[in-house]
A = this chain, B = another copy of it.
Amino acid sequence: MRASDRAYAALRDDIIEWRLLPGTVLAEVEQSERLGVSRTPLREALSRLTAEGLTTAAGGRGVVVTDISLEDIDELFELRETLECKAAALAAERGDAALFLQIQKELLEAPDLISGADPARHDYYVLVGRLDEAIDAAISNSYLAQAMRSLRVHLVRVRRLAADDAARLTAAAAEHAAIAEAIAARNPRLAEAATTVHLHRSLSHVKATHTPH
């Protein structure tokens, strides 16, 4: 693995997991020493992060970790609704029904995963990730898929702000199952509606449990 990839992955993780807080200046020498790589690959990592919007170039003063305000969350979900509703509708038109039926079945059993031993709910998030990937593949539109992927980076960051209690996760699993069901039923409008419902519930939950730092 390239040094620039390691630096990118490490910084990205630190930002997403809120170990590097918004406003933190990422000085090149400092970070390159911390991560054990030279300045050259580190700069490439910072370039990629800036292109994704996780950091912002602060002219002459290095790059700083981008902030996410409450307005940002609203904007983020506005775009997310636009993209994911369209994606769900397209998936319903073009997707493989059997695959989504299978994912729906697993999602209906998700409460077992959530109440399980793992406090990080790793298996649950993997399952949700599989739904995302299935939709990405079904739409067969690389530009749309790319736009959604770049959004998800920011969304994972926001998710870390909310208290992911078991009750909310169980409800979210049911909402995801409804989306998968609608896609499997090849009903674009229903898939779109189910996505809208899910995203609004998610947004409400995030805003309700949002703990200002």
**Chain A residues near B (Cβ < 8 Å):** 40, 43-44, 47-48, 51-53, 72, 75-76, 78-79, 82-83, 86, 90, 140-144, 146-147, 151, 154
Contacts and interface: CB of A to CB of B under 8 A. Distances in A.
A143 B157 CA distance: 15
Contacts of A43: 44
Copy tally for this chain in the complex stands at: 2
A40 B146 CA distance: 27
A82 B144 CA distance: 9
Main secondary structure of the interface of A (DSSP, over half): helix
12 contacts: A40-B40, A44-B47, A75-B141, A75-B143, A75-B144, A78-B90, A78-B143, A79-B141, A82-B83, A82-B144, A143-B154, A147-B147
A146 B51 CA distance: 11
Contacts of A140: 75
A133 to B, nearest CB: 18
Contacts of A72: 142-143
A78 B44 contact: no
A44 B47 CA distance: 7
Contacts of A53: 143, 146
Nearest to A150: B147
Contacts of A51: 47-48, 51-52
